[in-house]
Amino acid sequence: MMGMMNTCRFCLSNELLEDRPLFENNSYYVLGMREVERSHGAMVVLKRHAETPFDINDREWSEIGGPLAFAKEMLRPFNASGYSVGWNVGDLAGQHVQHVHLHVICRFEDDPAAGLGINGLIGKVNGLIP
């Protein structure tokens, strides 16, 4: 795991992050999402290098509320009708960076995948829903 930590773009000490955190506490930082298909979203990223949410310790779990609340407040100007909040865990589930990060994605009534939950969002990104 040490080699992976040295090349992980979410480990702040590596200085590989292309943007800067918008909020930080002891355990997490928050980023805006850069992907065009998810530009109305944010990510809550664990500061400590760990690969999955199953690796989060009790102290870290107790500190996730502040960053999550900040992400929602940051997204308020988009006037979302709802949110999809979730983790991708492992390559087959779509985890592209092997470092714990929670997606917070705005959802809108006029979205063709409205009402389909996270599965609809995945279908839209993968071209299954127009």
The secondary structure of the chain in percent helix, strand, coil, rounded to multiples of 5, reads 35, 20, 45
Please report how many Cα atoms fall inside a 13 Å half-sphere around the Cα of residue 90, on the Cβ side. Answer: 3
In a domain, 63, yes or no: yes
Label residue 26 left, alpha or beta by phi (over 0 means left) and psi (-120 to 50 means alpha).
Answer: alpha
In a domain, 130, yes or no: no
pLDDT value at residue 34 = 64
In a domain, 58, yes or no: yes
Domain count, the chain: 1
In a domain, 62, yes or no: yes
Q: What's the CATH code of the domain at 82?
A: 3.30.428.10
In a domain, 114, yes or no: yes
In a domain, 54, yes or no: yes
Range of the domain at 94: 2-125
**Which pLDDT tens digits describe the chain residue by residue (130 residues)?**
444 577 898 998 888 887 889 999 999 999 997 665 666 899 999 999 999 999 999 999 999 999 999 999 999 999 999 998 999 999 888 888 999 999 999 988 887 777 776 665 555 555 554 4
- Would you state the structure tokens that stand for residue 61, as one six-digit string? 């779990």
Strand stretches in the chain, DSSP E: 23-24, 28-32, 41-46, 82-86, 101-107
